[in-house]
Amino acid sequence: MAMLSERMKEIFLKQGIFVLGTADLSGIPNVVPVGAVKILDDETILVSDQFFLKTLKNLKENPNVAMSFWEAEKGEGYQIKGTASILTEGRIYEETVEWIRKFSREIGHPLESKGAVVIKINAIYSVTPGSSAGQRVA
């Protein structure tokens, strides 16, 4: 497993929208913006599913995912590659449901979590422009 560094976590925590990529069994990709994302620990990311359709279908067929995030001001960014699990019961799922309910009340827009997607990080790559772009960093 790869681990997020303190700098990666700093950039991650500043993000509002992340890019999440999945693919079905035949390799057809799907990329969606996601906003309900948090770090569970240095090796694990959580994404709440409010609206997944193709993404959920893909995750059930193929748990391999990619997620990108970056800091526009400095042009520094990363891509996570990982393996996803879909949770619809248990402690993590229940905490996710409550997190989204609270967020929904705060923004005044009805949202409901259908599931918690837990991503175990397998590798981290640089997406920062320059000579290190595309290189594995963790």
pLDDT over 70 percentage in the chain: 100
Predicted pLDDT of residue 74: 86
Predicted pLDDT of residue 1: 84
- Asked if 121 and 3 touch (Cβ cutoff 8 Å), the reply is yes
Per-residue buried b or exposed e for 55-78, using 16+ beta carbons within 10 Å of the residue's own CB? bbebbeebbebbbbbbbeeeebbb
- Whole-angstrom distance, CA of residue 75 vs CA of residue 98: 34
Residue for token pair 């640089």: 126
Is the per-residue pLDDT at 97 higher than 90?
Answer: yes
Confidence grade of residue 72 (pLDDT, cut at 50, 70, 90): confident
CA distances from 94 to 21, 87, 114, 122 (A): 25, 9, 10, 25
